Amino acid sequence: MDATERPAADEGPGAGAAPAVLPGQRGGEEVIHLDGVEKVFEVRRRTGLLRREKRQVRAVDGLSFSVARGEVVGFVGPNGAGKSTTIKMLTGILTPSGGTLRVAGVEPARDRARTARRIGVVFGQRTTLWWDLPLLDSYQLIHRMYRVPDSRYRENLDRCVELLGLGDLLDVPVRQLSLGQRMRGDIAAALLHDPEVLYLDEPTIGLDVVSKANVRRFLADLNAERGTTVLLTTHDLTDIEQLCRRVMVIDHGRLMYDGAVAGLHRIAAAERTLVVDLATELPPIAVESARTVKVEGPRQWLAFPAGRPAAPLVAEIAAGWPLLDLSVREPDIEDVIALMYAGRPAG
């Protein structure tokens, strides 16, 4: 699919999806702006004993979008789509190979210090806290590093401690915290200097259901009360559903969809997958109410309309095939993107 053919906000596969700028945000002050941003990495690959081949990886390929102040935008895509590379450019860690990129009026890679004062970053997979220090010591270091006025620091810390339930954890070294506690600690650390923009990279990954709900509630309140702009990368469709009105989908470094979450959900809700384990390897199961989308040894994947119950399909397969085990998978981001490529009608 060519970039120009990719579904735009109001003509995409989620037909009738809301435009990228949602009502109420139209004309809002732009806080993130990307225009034709590219990032090309040069990688060297060994092709023989002494020979190495240079290859270019186009991680981000002409990405353009804007985010208005106070928006909470989901930024999703399959593995290797270019999400982390984009976030690294937005924080100033990486310099774009082409195009223009501004955050709160600043070019991040050119002025990392000014950018750092205006943004907060949370990476779900690794901590920005000092591993051996108690949580409070990390916070005091951040206080001094960012020169946060004392009263503001106290106020922000008290608020985070209360709303994120950190009271009993402040004296605990970071390495002793559970994943969920560490994540809450990291979110507080990212907010002590009052950032205008918060980048969250998989903030709920590996968390249990209760911790996930706590983190989501905190982020929704933060946005409502402080108007903090949030760009959220996640593989969890529920994060998007509960926090964002707008979602951007990228793949191969390009924007595939930019619009309302409802539009994305219409696509996502189109199909569920029945995964069946048979007693032996067999040709793809042929039934009327589902289509077999994958076969791997004795395991087969069958897509069926999300609006229909799974029971009749399971009964039909159990009657005609040597069924050992089964599970039903809800659609995730990868499925949504696969459906976009397949050009299936929504709903």
| Residues at the interface with ligand ATP (CB under 6 A) | 41, 43, 57, 59, 77, 79-85
Give the residue with the Cβ less far from ligand ATP, 7 or 82: 82
Give the residue with the Cβ less far from ligand ATP, 125 or 280: 125
Q: From the centroid of its chain, how far is CA 339? A: 18
Q: Cβ of residue 101: shortest distance to ligand ATP, in angstroms?
A: 15
Q: Cβ of residue 252: shortest distance to ligand ATP, in angstroms?
A: 9
Helix (H, G, I), strand (E, B) or coil at 345: coil
Q: Residue 300 and residue 303: Cα distance in Å, rounded?
A: 10
A 10 A CB-CB count for 232 gives 24
Q: Residue 231 and residue 248: Cα distance in Å, rounded?
A: 10
Q: Cβ of residue 173: shortest distance to ligand ATP, in angstroms?
A: 28
Give the residue with the Cβ less far from ligand ATP, 88 or 184: 88
Q: Cβ of residue 92: shortest distance to ligand ATP, in angstroms?
A: 15
Give the residue with the Cβ less far from ligand ATP, 84 or 140: 84
Of 101, 102, 99, 37, nearest in space to 63 by CA: 37
Of 70, 115, 112, nearest in space to 220 by CA: 70
For 265-302, b where at least 16 C-beta lie within 10 A, e where not — what string? bbbbbbbbbbebebeeeeeebeeeebebeebeeeebbb
Q: Cβ of residue 201: shortest distance to ligand ATP, in angstroms?
A: 8
Give the residue with the Cβ less far from ligand ATP, 81 or 267: 81
